[in-house]
Structure 1
Amino acid sequence: MKQRVVGAIWFFSFIVTMPLLYITDPPRNITPSSLITVGLVFVLTALFSFKVKGTDIIALQGIGLAGFLIFGLFVETLLTQFGILVYLLSQRIGKNDVYRLPLNSVMFLLVSLSAGSAYYALGGEIGVVSGNVLDLSLIPIIGFYLSAYLVNTLCLDLIRRWLLSLPVKAKVFDKDAVWEIVVTAMMMPLGIAFYLMYGTKGWLGMMIIAVPMVTLSVIVRLINNSQELIKFLQSVNHLGQQLTEELSVKRVLDLLFEKMPDILPVDYLYVVMYTKPEKPKLIRMFRKDEGESFVPFQQEADISLRVYRQAKAVIGSGNAGEMYPFLDALSDGRARSYLSVPMMHRGQVLGVMTLASHINKAYTKTSRIGMEIVGDFLAIALENAKNFEIRKKESERCPLTDLFNYRYLMKAISKLFNNPALESFSIIMLDIDNFKRINDTYGHQNGNAILIGVANRLRKTVGHKGIVARYGGEEFTVLLPGLDRNLCFAVAETIRLAVAAEPFMIFNESDNRYDQIYVTISLGTSTAPADATESSELIYNADHAMYKGAKQKGKNRVARYV
């Protein structure tokens, strides 16, 4: 709605303003060669703009004074409008940013009107074009630029507050404002020089200044682009190093999705892994608008399949949905640019990373090069993190039951003893009753099946209340942070009932069938710091309670250390 209002303001302002300007300050000193020359300078100035400290520098205000003094306010306004149109079109304006055309047109229309009005109000006159600097009125010229600066600043403030709803700094003179004042001050002698050279040498004199000015703009632009490229590649390299330093797959992806929007315009980002080429998996997805609609991934509908097969990046703009329905559905038809790069590791494509933006032509060849680097770093980081997690799991987990092992258990107990905020914690030692008989009767393979079955019931019964570990052989341990001896005893009894209540399935090879057997366990509990002050003592007391208080008294029971 606000954008439509801007369009309406632009339409009516031109209908009313331009005829009035033509009547009040008609064109003067018009010749085809002079108008073409000044118009060409306006176009070149707009095309070869450059940035300094993030500020777009367009010398239109500098030559605007020359156009105003030579041809009058009407022609200067038209030339400025034409110049700003050329500048905006050179910035690859997408459909979502079309409103910037009428918006900037209205803003520079106000700038031209205010600058010309200030010049006339301060006694400035326009007559025959002169090459003598003494014929110029300095105060009206200063008023011309000062008015242009103030109106430009007020318009930008209004745009930020009303149209874009951005927070506006309370400071009147910040670093950006100081820089804009410096640039405006630099434009004034440039405009005077253009006018004087035109008055002395005609259109050739203006070109004498225009050529080196445009050349300087090109040089500054090239330097600026190279600096931006260096900065971009430094940020890419820094991100890559950060990714490879992480040893968790989750943290690698968290870091990628956190940092990427700071490097490039990203409204959508997702990673598809081709570890199993026949079953590619979408492992993480980012949407800037935090849309909740679920879009099922289908490889035939996505760009990543092409990138995987060709092992080459794909960059494009326009309506991505015509070729890639998944991206179109994900963005609700709003994606206008996309960049998809392979994640290469040792000559193989492990996955594909895809970025998309609402901005048309948001990604360049430089973006592609940078993202290919990030993709390779990401592949290495994910592979390293996955291998580390596998090794960590192998070192901390029992390969048969997938429970924590003795090493992890001792570290966990030590951490609890060193936690001053924890008032108490308990441990349960449990042993499968008559397990040797099960092995001798049904075989070790069925014995392993019983161990796995008991582990699953322990995991399900304990849940998030504690840590379940395989202590060794047929012995298991349950560590319960924050639970005193009474609560620990209640959990132990619940575990005992869970194991004894339902039968376990074993395979009877002699009869080639599955049989059901019931299994019981004996449990012992101990609590710290009441029963023990160190890890080995805590385990010994629970183990002692299990054998003395449960095993030797009939099994299938819970005993508490006393």
Structure 2
Amino acid sequence: MKQWAVTAIWILTFFFSLPIIYMIDPPRNIMPASLLTVTIVFVLTALFSFKVKGTDIIVLQGIGLATFLIFGLFVETLLTQFCIMVYLLSQRIGKTDAYRIPINLTMFLLVSIASGSTYYTLGGRATEVTNNVLELSLLPIFGFYFSAYLANTIVLMFIRKWLLSIPFKVRLFDRDSVWEIIITLLMMPLGIAFYLMYASRGWLGMLMIAIPMVALSIIMRQINNNQELIQFLQSVNHFGQQLTEELSVKHVFDLLFEKMPTMLPVDYLYVVLYTHPERPKLVRMYRKDQGESFVPFQQEADVSLSVFRQAKAIIGSGNTGSLYPFLDALSNGQAKSYLSVPMMHRGQVIGVLTLASHVSRSYTNTSRIGIEIVGDFLAISLENAKNFEIRKKESERCPLTDLFNYRYMMKVINKMYNDPSLEVFSIIMMDIDNFKQINDTYGHQNGNAILIGVANRLRKTVGHKGIVARYGGEEFTVLLPGMDRNMCFAVAETIRLAVAAETFMIFNETENRYDKIFVTISLGTSTAPVDATDPSELIYNADHAMYKGAKQQGKNRVARYI
């Protein structure tokens, strides 16, 4: 509603004020060649704007003063509006940012009215064109520029406060406005130079100063584009280094989805892995609006398949529905531009990174170059993290049961002893009863199956209450942080019942069938610090309780260290 209101304000203000401006300050010195030259200069200044310290520089105020002094406020207002429209359209504004057009047109309309009014209020006169600089009134000219800056600042404050609802402190002069003031002051001699060149040599004189000025703008624009490319590639390189430092696949994706929306316009972001090309997998997705609607991934409907096959980035703009139905469904038809790049590792495409935005033509060749680099960094990071996790798992887990191993268990026990916040913790040592007999009777392969089955029941029974490890052979360990003797004994009894209550399946090779057998375990418990002051003593006491109090007392029971 506010955007519609701004559009209505501009229409009413424009068509209401133009007749008044025409009556107060009608066009003068109108010659087709001169007017055409000024119009061309206006368009060129709009098309070849450049940035300095993040500020868009259009030499509009320079040519604007000359136009005002030569042709009057009415012509200056019309050409300024035309110039701003050309500038905004050249910035590739999408539908979501279309409200910027009436806002800027309204702002510069008010700026034209304010600057022209100030000029006449301070004694400036509408005179014939003269090439004598002494005949120009510098105070009204200074007021022309000062009121232009002031009106521009006030209108911007109003837009931020009312339309965009951005909280800010009301300041007419702050650190951010210093550069704009400097630019405004530099425009004043430029505007006077335009006027004098026209006065001395007519439209050719203005063209003589316009050509080097536009050429300088083009050079500055190219320098600025190169600087932006360098800065973007530097940020990409820094981001890539951050990715390669992560040693967890989850953390790699977390960092990617956190940083990428800050580098480019991103409303949608997702990664498809082609580790198994016949079964590509959508592994992570980001939607700026946090939509929850589920869209099943189908490779034939997505841009990633083309990128994977061609091993080449695809950049596009416009409606994605006919080409890429998945992206269209994911964005509910809102995606207007997209960029999809391959993730290359050792010459192979292992995945595809896709970005999409609601704004048309959001991604340029600079974006493509940078994101291609990100895609390669991402591929390397994922492979490194995956290999690290595999090596870590191999070093910490038993390959047969996938439980933690002895090395990891000892590291955790030492950490518990050195943790001052942990007042008590317990350990359960357990051994499968008659395991040698099981191996001798049914074979080592069935013995391994029993070990895996016991490990699964331990994992299911203990859950998040403790840490389950394979101590070695047929022995297992459970660490229970925060549990005293009684709680530990209760958990041990629950484990014993879970193992003994249900049968285990083994394969009888002689008769080529599966048989059911019962398996029991003997358990011993010990608690720190009351039972032991170091890890070795804690383990020994639990092991001693298991053999003396459980094994030798009939097996299939829990014994507590005393």
Query: TM-score band (shorter)?
Result: over 0.9
CA distance in 2, matches of 1:172, 1:104: 19
Q: Secondary structure at the match of 2:530?
A: coil
Q: Which residue of 1 aligns with 2:548?
A: 548
Deviations 1:328-359 (A, max 9, x none): 12112111110000001111100000001111
1:503-534 per-residue CA deviation (whole Å, 9 max, x = no partner) reads 11111122221111111111111111111111
Look up the match of 1:94.
94
Give distance in 1, aligned partners of 2:203 and 2:408: 84
1:409-467 Cα shifts (integer Å, max 9, x gaps)? 11111111111111011111011111111111111111111111110110011111111
**3-state SS of paired residue (2:457):** helix
Q: 1:442 to 1:57 in 2, by over 3 A?
A: same
CA distance in 2, matches of 1:555, 1:173: 86
Does residue 51 (structure 1) correspond to residue 23 (structure 2)? The answer is no
**Alpha-carbon distance in structure 2 between the residues aligned to 1:169 and 1:59:** 29
Task: Report the 3-state secondary structure (helix = DSSP H, G, I; strand = E; otherwise coil) of the residue aligned with 1:515.
Answer: strand
Residues 341-352 of structure 1: pairs in structure 2 closer than 5 A: 341-352=341-352
Query: How far apart, in 2, do the equivalents of 1:292 and 1:240 lie?
Result: 30
The correspondence of residues 129-208 of structure 1 with structure 2, limited to 5 A, is 129-169=129-169, 172-208=172-208
Counterpart of 2:524?
524
Alignment pair present for 1:413 and 2:418: no
Maintained 8 Å contact 2:157/2:170: no
Residue number in structure 1 paired with 2:122:
122
Of stretches 181-190 and 470-479 in structure 1, the one that deviates more from structure 2 is 181-190
What is the aligned partner in structure 2 of residue 430 from structure 1?
430
Deviation of the 1:171 alpha carbon: 5.0
Counterpart check, 1:69 vs 2:48: no
Q: Which residue of 2 aligns with 1:391?
A: 391
Deviations 1:117-138 (A, max 9, x none): 1111111111101111111111
Q: CA deviation at 1:151?
A: 1.0
**Within 2, Cα distance between the matches of 1:505 and 1:538?**
34
The residue number in structure 1 matching 2:303 is 303
Partners of 1:494 and 1:137 in 2: CA distance: 98
CA distance in 1, matches of 2:470, 2:202: 94
The residue type paired with residue 167 of structure 2 is: P
CA distance in 2, matches of 1:331, 1:386: 31
Q: Aligned equivalents of 1:301 and 1:175: distance in 2?
A: 50
Q: How far off is 1:166 after superposition?
A: 2.3
Partner in structure 2 of residue 3 of structure 1: 3
Distance in 2 between residues matched to 1:326 and 1:364, nearest whole Å: 23
Secondary structure class of the residue paired with 1:321: coil
Matched, 1:315 2:300: no
- The alpha-carbon deviation at position 391 of structure 1 amounts to 0.9
Q: Judge conservation of contact 2:154–2:172 (CA < 8 Å) in 1.
A: no
Contact 2:153/2:172, CA 8 A, preserved across alignment? no
Alignment gaps of 5+ in structure 2: none
When the two structures are superposed, what TM-score results if normalisation uses the length of structure 2? 0.98
SS across alignment from 2:321: helix
Aligned residue for 2:506?
506
In structure 1, runs of 5+ residues without a counterpart are none
1:106-505 equivalences in 2 (<5 Å):
106-169=106-169, 172-505=172-505
For residues 172 and 431 of structure 1, the distance between their equivalents in structure 2, rounded to whole angstroms, comes to 80
Shift in Å, 1:170: 5.3
Name the CA distance, whole Å, in 2 between partners of 1:172 and 1:78: 28
Distance 1:317 1:159 in 2: 30
Letter in 1 for 2:449: A
Q: Distance in 1 between matches of 2:15 and 2:72?
A: 19
* Distance in 2, Cα, partners of 1:417 & 1:64: 78
C-alpha separation between the residues in 2 aligned to 1:9 and 1:319? 32
Structure 1 residue 164 displacement after superposition: 2.0
Q: CA RMSD in A?
A: 1.1
Offset of 1:172 from its aligned partner?
4.5
Tell me how far apart the structure 1 counterparts of residues 421 and 48 of structure 2 sit (CA, whole Å).
65
Question: Whole-Å Cα distance in 2 between the matches of residues 400 and 259 of structure 1?
Answer: 40
Task: Give the letter aligned to residue 222 of structure 2.
Answer: L
* TM-score normalised by length of structure 1: 0.98
> How many residues are aligned here?
562
The separation in 2 between residues aligned to 1:125 and 1:407, in whole angstroms, is 92
2:297 and 2:157 map into 1 onto residues whose CA distance is 43
SS of residue in 2 equivalent to 1:323: coil
Residue aligned with 2:427, SS = strand
Separation in 2, partners of 1:35, 1:367: 40
- 1:81 match: 81
- Letter paired with 2:485: R
Aligned counterparts of 2:14 and 2:231: Cα–Cα separation in 1: 42
Paired with 1:105 and 1:195, the residues of 2 have a C-alpha distance of: 25
CA shift, 1:169, in A, is 4.4
Contact 2:269 2:356 survives alignment (8 Å): yes
For the residues of structure 2 that align with 1:442 and 1:476, how far apart are their CA atoms? 21
Q: Is the Cα contact below 8 Å between 2:271 and 2:284 reproduced in 1?
A: yes
Please list the CA deviations of residues 466-509 of structure 1 after superposition, one character each: whole Å capped at 9, or x if unmatched: 11000001100001111111111111111111111111111112
For residues 230 and 419 of structure 1, the distance between their equivalents in structure 2, rounded to whole angstroms, comes to: 49
Percent sequence identity is 78
- 1:310-333 CA distances to partner (integer Å, 9 max, x unpaired)? 111000011122311111121121
SS in 2 for 1:498: helix
2:384 & 2:332 partners in 1: Cα distance?
35
